[in-house]
Structure 1
């Protein structure tokens, strides 16, 4: 039985990459669904899947995030993981799809939940902007701010995994050193830079266009933009990547995890010398994953 994946916006549910990738459940905001109905929906998910992993963007409205925590608190369930993702909207959607892919693999719910932090480092999420005057998600120098007022200026910005900002024509964004596919979504900016310049420079294997998430203009500070994200599309590569990380047991809630933090209770991994009880460690390979260009 695959772990249920849930999101807070339909924009975060990209079309599946294959027939096996499941969709995601939509958790409505409090102004469109009363609490008792939201609790009933969550109960159905738990009964059908056993565990629910909720992925939502860091810029979600406070009331909606509070609703998520209220549901978990009222149900007193430790089988609901709430994962806040500090990525641009299209990057969040890409990561959600990857977690959807992993949910049908032979990983425990704890490993799938904690895999979100691992995989986020392999999502190259950015945008082409006509102005950075209102961009507050990525560090912008005063010089770049001044240049943004020059008519016709365009800026390539990478928000994840490492912030970068270059003026088009004066430099290039450093991209992934492994094989990726690229997805992009157009706002009100007309440009072929993403497909004609960025994709060849990053040597992406495939390009796909998607609808622009409704939160993207607010995230990037302008509607004159084109958002993009390069990612690992192959489920076999994702599986190998997650499998290569040593598994631990959370000393707080007992869930299996990878990395340094539990995906369900968010407790940090306790070093072995500080554990009050022996942890059961499962390991499926310890070698790092390398991907070809």
Structure 2
């Protein structure tokens, strides 16, 4: 069985790209699920899949994160990885779907967990906002905050891989896009705007545009319900596979799990710095 991919909210589960994409398990927070039930849920996943990779947004409540660590500690299991992501809700959902796609491949659980950090750099996540007055998760200038109160103002905001903000409809309003072929998924809130599909997608040379329901947490993350959220991403499994497979694999010095990058996805231990080469004593003449 493939490594189980679990999430902390149903918002993070997008429709599969194809019938072969494995589903994600939803682990409800402590406000709706007792600790005993949560322990049983995760134990069942471990029994069925061997390892579990849980994606937990950085914006999740402290109680949700604490629950995950409590479950892992009580089960005394080193087969549970808790992966944090700072991506906005729709971008995080795209990342989860990519991990679901890759979980059906021949990657080890350690490589799959640490691949999340790599894939994040290839997700262009943003939104069109009717106001940036309450936006506190993406750096914006004071002038933009003031203009955000003006009726009818709209802003294009990119949260990652780099933070950018432009005012839609006033001169150049291009956001820095990917230099590779992507698909675009968008979710509409209470803002009337086709800018992501009609302006951004052609400029970014997007291959296909798909719509989905707006995550429940998006208005809170972006500071306004007047938004259209979008995320450009790598959608083809062969491309995702090649991207992850091309990275050098290491073995974690702490838990011995396989990893890519500079940090273990299971125990979070950093990869030790390479030791400088030792000086060689001159040979006697």
Scaled by the length of structure 1, the TM-score of the pair is 0.92
In the alignment, which residue of structure 1 is the partner of 2:83?
Answer: 83
Given the alignment, which residue of 217, 220, 225 partners 1:218?
Answer: 220
Matched, 1:94 2:94: yes
| Structure 1 residue 101, shift from structure 2 partner | 0.5
Tell me the residue number matched to 1:246.
Answer: 248
Find the aligned partners of 1:268 and 1:184 in 2 and give their Cα distance: 35
Aligned equivalent of 2:205: 203
Query: What SS does the aligned partner of 2:210 have?
Result: strand
Residue of structure 2 equivalent to 1:67: 67
Unaligned runs of 5+ in 2: 277-285
1:153-197 CA distances to partner (integer Å, 9 max, x unpaired)? 110000010000011123210100000000000000011111111
Aligned residues between the structures = 274
TM-score of the superposed pair, with normalisation by structure 2:
0.95
What is the RMSD computed on CA atoms of the aligned residues?
0.9
Map residues 1-293 of structure 1 onto 2, 5 A cutoff: 1-168=1-168, 169-170=170-171, 171-273=173-275
Offset at 1:200? 0.7
Equivalents in 2 of 1:153, 1:86: separation in Å?
Answer: 26
The runs of 4+ residues in structure 1 deviating greater than 6 Å are: none
Per-residue deviation, residues 216-261 of structure 1 (Å, max 9, x unmatched) = 0000000000000000000000000001100000001100000010
5+ residue gaps, structure 1:
275-293
Mean CA deviation greater in 232-241 or 137-146:
137-146
* Distance (Å, rounded) in 1 between the aligned partners of 2:147 and 2:67: 42
